[in-house]
Structure formats: structure tokens, C-alpha cells
């Protein structure tokens, strides 16, 4: 049985993975996750661009209880947030890994450059996952 603790005594979240991919599939019954198309670079035919099938996966350690999370998306090194995802993580057993899988409907990319997702849990910065976006040339493959 987990005892209630004052919020100031919670340990800071510990991250073991924060990845960007095309899709996260959650198996019914076992809750196993399959990550499809993990990437760190994206090629588009023109800017601004809209990229479909983007997903985020986080795995880490959190205390039992409810934890507010926020994921900001923006250009690397910029405080401007282009979009964000917010919600609550319900952790039943702090001894087991906590997972968060978010399949996003699309991602807007204004120009070529470096972008990142920044994960915050209970107001504390946890980790970033970055990727590079470039212009697709006729002899390159997409991704």
C-alpha cells in the first residue's frame, strides 16, 4: 500500500526513453507498446509543411499518484511554443515503469531547421527529443 506524501517529497521524474516515431501501437490486453518508425530527421518537399503520423513515447519512473504533464513543441533554442499536449498521468505503482504514448494527428513545420519536443512533469523539465527537418531533394527518400 502506498502512503500519501506531501508533494514536496516526490522524487523528480527519471526518464529512460523519450522518442519520436511515426506511430505507437498499444496491444489490447497486454498493454505492450510497438514503436513504428523511430526517427531523428524528416524530409519534406516544401515549407511550411504538415507531417502526418507523428507519435511520442515516454518511459520513466514516477511516484504513485496523479502527475500533470505537458509536452511543448518548438524550434530548438527558442522559447516560442508552436503547439503543446497536456494531460494527467495516473501512476498506480511507483515501482513499475510509467509509459506515455501520444499519437498526434499532424505536425506543422514552418521552415527547415532543428525542432524538439520538451517534456515537463509536475512543472519540472524532464527531457527533450529533437529532430532535424530538411528539404527533400529529388534523389532522396522520405522519412
pLDDT in tens, 27-49: 999 999 999 999 999 999 999 99
pLDDT band at residue 130, thresholds of 50, 70 and 90? Answer: very high
Give the pLDDT confidence score for residue 13 in this predicted structure: 77
Distance CA 61, CA 75 (A): 27
CA separation (Å) from 90 to 65, 68, 126?
A: 6, 9, 17
Domain boundaries, the chain: 15-135
Write the class of the CATH domain 15-135: mainly beta
Burial of 56 (0-12, 13-18, 19+ CB in 10 A): buried
If residue 31 lies in a helix (H) or strand (E), which one and from where to where? Answer: none
Question: Which pLDDT score, from 0 to 100, does residue 141 have?
Answer: 53
The single-letter DSSP state of residue 82 is: S
pLDDT at 40: 97
Q: Give strand pairing partners of 50.
A: 108
pLDDT at 137: 85
Confidence of residue 18 (pLDDT cuts 50, 70, 90): very high
Amino acid at each position: 500500500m502506498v502512503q500519501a506524501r506531501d508533494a514536496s517529497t516526490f522524487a523528480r521524474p527519471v526518464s529512460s526513453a523519450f522518442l519520436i516515431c511515426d506511430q505507437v501501437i498499444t496491444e489490447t490486453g497486454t498493454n505492450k507498446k510497438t514503436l513504428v518508425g523511430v526517427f531523428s530527421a524528416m524530409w519534406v518537399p516544401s515549407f511550411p509543411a504538415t507531417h502526418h503520423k507523428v507519435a511520442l513515447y515516454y518511459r520513466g519512473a514516477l511516484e504513485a499518484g496523479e502527475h500533470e504533464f505537458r509536452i511543448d513543441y518548438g524550434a530548438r533554442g527558442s522559447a516560442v511554443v508552436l503547439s503543446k499536449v497536456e494531460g494527467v498521468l495516473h501512476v498506480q505503482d511507483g515501482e513499475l515503469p510509467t509509459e506515455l504514448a501520444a499519437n498526434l494527428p499532424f505536425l506543422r513545420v514552418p521552415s527547415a531547421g532543428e525542432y524538439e519536443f520538451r517534456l515537463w512533469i509536475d512543472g519540472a523539465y524532464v527531457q527533450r527529443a529533437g529532430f532535424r527537418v530538411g528539404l527533400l531533394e529529388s534523389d532522396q527518400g522520405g522519412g
